[in-house]
Amino acid sequence: MHTQNVKTAAPESSERWGKKFTMTHLTDLFLYVMVNSEGQKQPGIFVPPPEGDLHIAVREDGGETVIVWTQNGWPLAAAIPESGYLAVLTGIAE
């Protein structure tokens, strides 16, 4: 898999600290969102904040794409578009 850090609107990104997320970091963040969003009310639509960062891992073999949105280094949401999976850390109990 190749990972890439695609900035949304803000200069704050993982590059600010002089590093990009590795595949291991991205996987850990994805799993963190997946586990911690269970039992939280999920929005119908997720709109990333303008000062957030988008981190994408694309498999070379054309498999699933992993996406994690962060803000100030904290994960907000995770998605696998091909399967329609989206999990958002809302902090609101179901």
Task: Say which residue, 85 or 64, is predicted with more confidence.
Answer: 85
Whole-number Å distance between alpha carbons of 45 and 25 = 25
Domain regions of the chain by residue span: 2-88
| Cα torsion angle, 72, 19, 78, 53, sign | positive
Q: What is the pLDDT of residues 1-46, one digit of tens each?
A: 444 444 443 334 444 444 577 888 888 999 999 999 999 999 989 9
Q: Side-chain half-sphere of 92: how many Cα atoms within 13 Å? A: 6
Residues 6 or more apart in contact with residue 92 via CB below 8 angstroms: 40, 41
pTM of this prediction? 0.74
Q: What is the pLDDT of residues 57-78, one digit of tens each?
A: 887 887 888 999 999 889 999 9
Q: Say what the pLDDT of residue 19 is.
A: 52
